[in-house]
Amino acid sequence: MPASAALQHTVEAFNLSAASENKIHDDIVAKKFGFEGGLVPGVEVYAYMAHLPVARFGMDWLAHGTAACRFHKPVYDGRNASVSGTVQDDESIALQVEMDGILCATGQAALGDVLAAPPANDIPTAPLPEHATRPDAAPENLVEGQIMGTYEVTHSAEENADYVRDVRESLDLYTDQGIIHPGLILRLGNRALSMNVRLGPWIHVGSKIQNYGTAKVGDRLAAPARVIKEYDHKGHRFVELDVLITANGVKSLARIHHTAIYRPRQVTGG
């Protein structure tokens, strides 16, 4: 395919998190924040975007590709999300997501070099706090360098297939080969935050992802994480996390630089 060639993928967006603890995905709460309705999670918007590099590069991208995504405007349930990708001279793909002609997300994806994966213990693991007694998300509980409790999960074939269906994924390799969808991998970045601190409505702003291997159905996935920094920007409280995704305690599959507004200015009163 020549440089600057265009790739396209359109899906009817679906809010998987309408009933989640994060009420920014609830229609009533989101409207109080000035949105039209509950926000489709950024993780799922990334899942829509990831279709294009996988369609172009195949399994190699899942094994050692890179991606970045930044969320600018909401994507809403039931509306068409149009993903476009432009192949650059270096074969990377410039990505964007539009809804009703509005630019909602941008990003890029590349095949990248085959890099040595960091050791699975590169970020130490730690126990999660009791869910009901998690500390409130606040600067004193999100300190630079802090090691977070390690969230773990094992996805069944049925759970993976349900996710593939819900993000309107048309590629067969996830269900045919038992490969965990990259949206579920990025979701672990959210869990590294939400399972450690008690959050009000919060917003996933963007992520950078380096893949090192593919996750398979039945793998015990873990997300050891540390706080990179916590700061105020225009009245919002931000946190950035370094999250290492590992499988079965022995293999690193991905590294995620995860950025979130954990306390929007509407909450802080800014």
3-state secondary structure the chain: CCCCCEEEEEEECCCCCCCCCCHHHCHHHHHHCCCCCCECCHHHHHHHHHHHHHHHHCHHHHHHCEEEEEECCCCECCCEEEEEEEECCCCCEEEEEEECCEEEEEEEEECCCCCCCCCCCCCCCCCCCCHHHCCECCHHHCCCCCECCCEEEECCHHHHHHHHHHCCCCCCHHHHHCECCHHHHHHHHHHHHHCCCECCCCEEEEEEEEECCCCECCCEEEECEEEEEEEEECCEEEEEEEEEEEECCCEEEEEEEEEEEEECHHHHCC
Render pLDDT for 202-261 as a digit per residue (tens, 0 to 9): 999 999 999 999 999 999 999 999 999 999 999 999 999 999 999 999 999 999 999 999
Please determine, for residue 1, whether its predicted confidence score (pLDDT) is greater than 50.
no
For all residues of the chain together, what is the average pLDDT? 92
- Give residue-wise pLDDT tens across range 112-152: 888 899 999 999 999 999 999 999 999 999 999 999 999 99
- At residue 27, the pLDDT reads 64
Task: State residue 26's pLDDT score.
Answer: 66
Q: Structural domains in the chain?
A: 6-115+126-268 (3.10.129.10)
Q: Is the pLDDT of residue 2 over 50?
A: no
State pTM to two decimals.
0.92
Tens digits of residue pLDDT in 26-69: 667 667 667 677 788 999 999 999 999 999 999 999 999 999 99
Q: What is the pLDDT of residue 199?
A: 92
Q: What is the pLDDT of residue 5?
A: 58
* Choice between 79 and 17, residue whose per-residue pLDDT is larger: 79
